[in-house]
Structure 1
Amino acid sequence: MNKKLLPVLWLSIIAFAGSANGFPVEIAKKNMAKDLIGDTTNAGLKLPQGFTAIKAADHIGQVRHIVVTPQGTLYAKSFRTVNGKGIFVLKDLKGNGTYEVVSTFDKFAGTGIAIKKGYLYASSDEEVFRYKLDAKNEVINTDAPEKIITGLINRHQHETKSIALDNEGNIYVNIGGYANACQESDRQKGSKGIMPCPILDSSGGIWVFKANKLNQTYGDGTRYATGLRNVVGLDWNQQTNSLFVMQHGRDQLYGNWPEYFDSKAGAELPSECMYELHKGSNCGWPYIYYNHLLHKKILAPEYGGDGKKEGSSEYQDPVLAFPGHLAPNGLLFYTGNQFPEKYKNGAFIAFHGSWNRSPLPQAGYFVVFAPFKNGKPTGEWEVFADGFSGKEVVTSTRGAEHRPCGLAQGPDGSLYVSDDSKGTIYKINYKK
């Protein structure tokens, strides 16, 4: 989908409530169907010409983020424990691309998982652990994790702790803001925002810790970036040597402020945003939100906005913005050589799918590709893998069969996509 077509998309959404995957049928056919090929051999997915998909694993729990070692072992973190275990170890024992669970360990559920410099890192909603790996990237002792960080805030709203590591020994942890818009009464109609927002002192941003220091507390970390409501998908970009994140935008513009927004605007706004972060970045939540249709930061209604007033220029602009309420849960910069050259160093984003786009159908449940050039997104993006929901129109979250969440790159350059609904892991390959 081309960024230039988004205003057209918005007008079409207003005109047509019926849609495929939450987008107007006409737009979907013009920008997706001609490029995406779907049949039963692709595990139900629709992919660009030359790509194929299989279910590498199925029914293994609510799989969130995943990693694949150079030897091909797959580690998957589960949102809920299964038989008291939160990490699955999967291997392709038959050499045909399908994986079997060979063991489980780690008694904590959660989202984040990563491998860096001889360690497997994994997070619960309050802590981060690491396991020493051997030369084959196998965990040496699954019963003896080292505790890296403890005491992370968990107020049972935006509580997941996604993680990413840089090349200098630092680990970045999302600490989501435990509110929708920092109101006096959270999520209540007409409730004003608290100024300044006290939540930002301890959450609503990215905190950085030392990756090799044991038993750090929340207070040992440094707030790296602020003004981020909640980040689930994040990745360290090796080309730019910087952290990129996908923010989950706020809810209830229409529900709480119907004097400024109609139901269709509430379904499409605010944008889901990609940010490139550096120390001290401030992305503006809860004071502003981004409107991809106007290409502007807009003052939040809780802080005196009316859907038109622009927000302060002190807040950082996103490098890329998508329609609202698609829930970006996975981000991966592709560095492999299997896919065509256009994909090199570009970003794959797994959209988990919405629950709050009524009266429009729910949307998302797909993987998007955003090309980069010289370390910056070109501004264009396209739906790369679709069909996870199993339906042309999804009217509720529970109506989607599969919901993309995590992304990983295999040693052969293949792309893995996890699903935390049915516990499926897809493997996508390309053949010339």
Structure 2
Amino acid sequence: MKIIKHLRILPVAAACFALLLTACDGDKDKTAQTDTTATDTSAVTLTLPAGFNATTIAKNLGSVRHISITPQGGIYVKHKSAGGNAGILYLTEANGAATVKTSFGTFDGTGIYVKNGYLYASSDEEVFRFKLNANNEVETPDKPEKVVTGLIARHQHEAKAILLDDAGNLYVNIGAFSNSCQVKDRTKESPGQPGCPILDSAAGIWQFKADKLNQTYKDGVRYATGLRNVMGMDWNKTANQLYVMQHGRDQLHDNWPALYTEEQSAILPAECMFAMNKGDNAGWPYVYYDQVQKKKIVMPEYGGDGKKEGDSKYLDPAAAFPGHLAPNGLLFYTGSQFPERYKNGAFIAFHGSWNRAPEPQAGYFVVFQPLKNGKADGPMEVFADGFSGSAENTAKGNALRRPCGLAQGPDGSLYVTDDVKGDIFKISYKK
């Protein structure tokens, strides 16, 4: 299993970067799984642990982001940019291929979730639901019910990831419309806004009732705060708790060159997994987590110098990952198809970086994070790699595919969406 602790990628040639990713522990249990169904020139080859196989069951669907699968195996995917056309696709799978059966919902967005007889889907400002029939197919695609409306979307972290629990609650990420709550966003040495007013209506997870219509902020509860932006969310059934993946802040060197080198800015801060309870505060914009020092550090906008330790009142991460890899999908595996070691562990889809210069860009893979008692039990393991097409593509940030959404099928297979071409990968295991 490929294990990466910090992924501090040195400024070397792309060929050496490939060796870094494949030689962490000898890589003796990896096998290349070629996408035999692909015919276009940009086909990719995924590398997986021995015994696993990847198949591209759908291609060229557009900017598909999150995915939800019904107990019957029906596949719903959400377009980030509907462009006035269908924002939701429903596919059925047979003989190794998935076919689009219906398309509906003209709104942009990311979130999609099947629960209790409804399909929930989000735009950047609202959450809708569609009634499902006994086969979990949408009955009236042109008549969605509006569950939540009036959410903030200010052209930065505007996508609304969603999740439902087993107690009738809907959770919605409302991302911060800012990098670090500066007076002048993303500006050199601009201080942080006192009290960070953004926290009143964004930078957290809001909880609503799943069965109540036309809710607004006043009907919901700010369940957790201090989260810059969350795309990957899942309910950890073992812990009976909400877990989220935060996108860490950018531009430490650009905005604070006297405090951070370019190299430090390339790898910091960590992308963090948080186990959330009602009322928790993960600390944005006042602190970030430094995975090298293994501690919370005060943000420079609020008096930090890269070493000053943050207040203990802010939540510690359940797991910390290399910076700027963009965790867009989170899934706790509960199936029985994969080997036992994967049961109740976390799969994370890292969409890939854009801001690790002068280091090579990184990510564009799906990792497995072993957990014990709700926290990391060892470093992450690269589970599915090769989405970018080559080590050179990865280093340049020019990926052919970028993993985004994750879902578990009724047979225990793992589904991964790509939002570059709009492919859906199905990863299965056979002894």
Same fold (TM over 0.5): yes
Deviations 1:380-417 (A, max 9, x none): 210000000001123444x1000100000001100000
Residue 77 of structure 1 corresponds to 78
Checking the alignment, whether the CA contact within 8 Å between 1:17 and 1:24 is kept in structure 2 is: no
In 1, Cα distance between the equivalents of 2:414 and 2:384? 11
Residue 422 of structure 1 corresponds to 421
Partner letter of residue 317 of structure 2? P
Residue 286 of structure 2 corresponds to 287
Residue 401 of structure 1 corresponds to 400
In 1, Cα distance between the equivalents of 2:277 and 2:301? 27
Alpha-carbon distance, 1:179 to partner: 0.2
Within-5 A mapping of 1:29-428: 29-31=23-25, 33-41=27-35, 44-81=45-82, 84-92=85-93, 95-393=94-392, 394-397=394-397, 399-428=398-427
Checking the alignment, whether the CA contact within 8 Å between 1:53 and 1:428 is kept in structure 2 is: yes
Structure-2 change in CA distance of 1:129 and 1:27 (3 Å) = closer
SS at match of 2:68: strand
Stretch deviating more after TM superposition (29-38 or 195-204)? 29-38
Q: Normalised by the size of structure 1, how large is the TM-score? A: 0.94
Alpha-carbon distance, 1:97 to partner: 2.1
Q: Normalised by the size of structure 2, how large is the TM-score? A: 0.94
Confirm or deny that 1:18 pairs with 2:19. Answer: no
Alpha-carbon distance, 1:83 to partner: 6.2
Alpha-carbon distance, 1:361 to partner: 1.1
SS at match of 2:25: helix
Once superposed, which parts of structure 1, at least 4 consecutive aligned residues long, lie more than 4 Å away? Answer: none
SS at match of 2:410: coil
SS at match of 2:89: strand
Checking the alignment, whether the CA contact within 8 Å between 1:2 and 1:380 is kept in structure 2 is: no
Checking the alignment, whether the CA contact within 8 Å between 2:17 and 2:395 is kept in structure 1 is: no
Partner letter of residue 17 of structure 1? V
Structure-2 change in CA distance of 1:139 and 1:229 (3 Å) = same
Percent of pairs with identical residues: 61
Checking the alignment, whether the CA contact within 8 Å between 2:2 and 2:382 is kept in structure 1 is: no
In 2, Cα distance between the equivalents of 1:341 and 1:390? 30
In 2, Cα distance between the equivalents of 1:74 and 1:276? 28
Partner letter of residue 325 of structure 2? L
Alpha-carbon distance, 1:376 to partner: 3.3
Aligned pairs, how many?
423
In 2, Cα distance between the equivalents of 1:391 and 1:358? 18
SS at match of 2:213: coil
SS at match of 1:129: strand
Q: Which runs of 5+ in 2 are unaligned?
A: 37-43
Checking the alignment, whether the CA contact within 8 Å between 1:353 and 1:364 is kept in structure 2 is: yes
SS at match of 1:161: coil
Checking the alignment, whether the CA contact within 8 Å between 1:281 and 1:316 is kept in structure 2 is: yes
In 1, Cα distance between the equivalents of 2:250 and 2:323? 9
